[in-house]
Every structure is written in C-alpha cells, then in structure tokens.
C-alpha cells in the first residue's frame, strides 16, 4: 500500500516551514484518490489556523511551533476501518519524507490537537511531556541553563568546644547496642498492582488497528478472488472466440473446396465441348434454327448440325449425345418458305 508523494508543492511548502519563513503549517490530503497525496493548503497562522482547515477525512499536517516541528496524522472518526489502516501505513511514508519532525501525533478529533496538548508533546511547557498513547517518541526540549554555584569562602578553623559535666552523659552499654542490632527491621511491602480497570487508550487503538488490518486483508482477498474470476471469464471468452474463428475458417475452407470442385467440373465440361466442336469442325453447317414439327402448332428452337444430306436436331449445342430428330434432305425438300411472320422469329423457314 505505497503512496504517491511526488507532488512538488509538498516539498516546496515543507522547505518553507523548516527554513523559518512566515509559512509555518501545511495540510496534505488525497483529493478523492486512493494513494496519491498532494498539498491541500498552507499558511502562516500556526496551529490554530491549521485546525480550522481540517475536514472530516484523512489528512496529514505539519506545523512549526517555537522552532520545533510536529507531524499530525488526522483521521476523522467518520473514516472507515480500511482507510484508517491505509492512513497508518501512509503516515509512516509522510514521516519519512518530513525528516525534521520532532513528534508525530495521531488524532481523530480536534480536541486532541489543542495548543496545550501539542505544546506539551513538543516539550514546550513546564513539566515532563505527556507520553504519546500511540507510542510515538517525544523529544524533550533543550535543558534550561542553571546558574553556576558561587565559590565558597574559606572559614578559619575554630577550636573545639569544651563540654562540661561529662559524667552526667550516659554511655551506651554493649547489651543495649546488641539488643538494637538484633531487633528486626520492618519494611513495608509494595502494594500489589491493581488487576481491574479499563484498557488503556493504546490497547484500544491497537485493537482498532487490528480490526482495520483484518478488514483490509478481507478486502484484498475479495479483490484477488474477483481478479481470478475475471481472468477465468476472459479465458473462456477468448477460447469461445478462437472456436468460432476456427469453425468459420473450416466453413470457408469447405466452401472454397466446393467452389474449386465446381470450377474443375465446369472446366472439364468445357474441355469436352471443345473436343466435340473440334470433331464437328469441317463436317458441315451448324447453328440454331426454329422449326415446326409435322402436326404440331408450336415452333421450337433447336441446334442443328448438317452432315452431308442429313440434318440432326439437338436441344442445344452442349447436348449432342443423341439427336431429337433427324431430317434426310435427299429428294425430300419440296419448297422453302419464309415463316418469320408466322412465328415472329427472324430467319425462320417452312
């Protein structure tokens, strides 16, 4: 879950803050993207102005207060658990980019970013800094200089004081000393730690982060399964297209084969016709003629071949295996009459 921090305006604003210019805060956000972080806003009004520009989403702020720098990871309570987990990872990347950070503060509401709490975390108030519930390190402020001790004036030795009435003092006897040494010394035992009480804020935050990470893993598993199903569907569609193309190719090949067979048969028939016509060359007249058979009122167009004293009639010039009829001319032609007007076909004779 890496993030994109290549927006040049981010480093420009960061350098302006750490170099001591009037600009002392900035805010980063996602602009409705998943992983691309860019500069939202910047200003010179300090922490108060930064808080005024926070909205209910995942934002990262950087502020300068009295020469110290704080990185703020603001995750609104309205943000989902998955985005919270992503913000945790991306916040580390932002912290790695802003190397001058003294303390990182994770918060979910504006109350956690008050001036007092932020200054306390930066070590800018009296007393020890408040520990960070999230475990972020707190860099203490520079120590307050302490004035050097004044030199002591040497004192001349005085003679020891003289005590009178020494006999009145009671010296300790060996028995009393022994009794005092042998008497037991009572030491107060430490109170046992309390076992009850509510969980600390750190534990609650850890549970929240674990739940967010679990949701993130479930979402990643769901996306992985969806990706597998998508690849399976694409594979099936590709195989179906390949089968369709193969069937189409086979149909084209079969059609081409049939066409080739038809062309070959036509060439063979033409070859035979040419052979037949070659046989008829020089044997006599041939062509089409319209005739009327004896006793029939109909005129029919026939292909004729005249060989010597005989005329053979066929249905057409390609069907000459057997003649439909044959007319012997020797001594049988009595008269020839033009019959074009009767059958309305030119060059018709009776």
pLDDT of residue 335: 63
pLDDT of residue 196: 44
Cα 314 to Cα 7, 35, 44, 293: the distances in Å are 95, 91, 113, 14
* Token digits of residue 39: 């500069």
Domains and CATH numbers, the chain: 8-121 (3.40.20.10), 286-343 (no CATH)
Q: Average model confidence (pLDDT) for the chain?
A: 76
**pLDDT of 137-171, one tens digit each?**
333 333 434 344 444 444 444 444 444 443 444 44
pLDDT of residue 163: 40
Contact between 97 and 38 (Cβ < 8 Å): no
Which of 176 and 72 is assigned the larger pLDDT?
Answer: 72
Q: Look at residues 207, 205, 215 and name the one whose alpha carbon lies nearest to residue 82.
A: 215
Q: What is the pTM of this model?
A: 0.38
**pLDDT of 55-99, one tens digit each?**
989 999 999 999 999 999 999 888 888 888 888 889 889 999 999
The span from the CA of 84 to the CA of 194, in Å, is 33
Flag whether pLDDT at 2 surpasses 60. yes
Which of 108 and 332 is assigned the larger pLDDT?
Answer: 108
* Token digits of residue 36: 């691309």
pLDDT of residue 190: 44
**pLDDT of 204-261, one tens digit each?**
778 878 888 888 888 888 999 999 999 999 999 999 999 999 999 999 999 999 999 9
Q: Which residues pair with 307 in a beta bridge?
A: 310
Highest mean pLDDT among 67-71, 292-296, 331-335: 67-71
């Amino acid at each position: 879950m890496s993030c994109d921090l290549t927006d040049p305006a981010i480093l420009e604003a960061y350098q302006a803050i750490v170099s001591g210019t009037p600009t002392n805060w900035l805010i980063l956000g996602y602009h409705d993207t998943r992983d691309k972080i860019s500069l939202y806003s910047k200003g010179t009004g300090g922490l108060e102005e930064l808080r005024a520009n926070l909205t209910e989403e995942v934002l990262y702020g950087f502020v300068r207060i009295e020469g110290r720098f704080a990185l703020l990871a603001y995750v609104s309570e309205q943000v989902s658990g998955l985005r919270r987990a992503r913000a945790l990872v991306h916040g580390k990347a932002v912290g790695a980019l802003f190397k001058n950070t003294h303390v990182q503060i994770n918060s979910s509401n504006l109350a956690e970013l008050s001036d007092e709490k932020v200054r306390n975390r930066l070590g800018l108030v009296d007393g020890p800094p408040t520990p960070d519930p999230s475990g972020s390190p707190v860099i203490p402020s520079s120590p307050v200089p302490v004035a050097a001790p004044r030199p002591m004036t040497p004192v001349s030795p005085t003679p020891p004081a003289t005590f009178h009435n020494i006999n009145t003092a009671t010296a300790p006897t060996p028995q009393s000393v022994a009794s005092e040494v042998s008497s037991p010394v009572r030491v107060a035992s430490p109170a046992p730690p309390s076992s009850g009480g509510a969980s600390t804020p750190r534990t609650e935050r850890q549970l929240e982060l674990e739940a967010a990470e679990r949701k993130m893993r479930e979402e990643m598993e769901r996306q992985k399964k969806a990706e597998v199903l998508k690849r399976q569907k694409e594979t099936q569609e590709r195989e179906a297209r390949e089968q369709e193309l193969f069937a189409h190719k086979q149909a084209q090949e079969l059609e081409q084969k049939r066409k080739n067979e038809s062309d070959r048969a036509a060439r063979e028939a033409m070859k035979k016709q040419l052979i037949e016509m070659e046989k008829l060359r020089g044997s006599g007249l041939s062509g089409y003629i319209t005739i009327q058979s004896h006793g029939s009122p109909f005129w029919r167009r026939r292909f004729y071949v005249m060989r010597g004293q005989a005329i053979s009639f066929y249905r057409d010039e390609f069907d000459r295996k057997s003649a439909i009829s044959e007319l012997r001319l020797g001594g049988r032609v009595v008269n020839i009459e033009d019959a074009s007007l009767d059958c309305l076909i030119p060059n018709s004779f009776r």
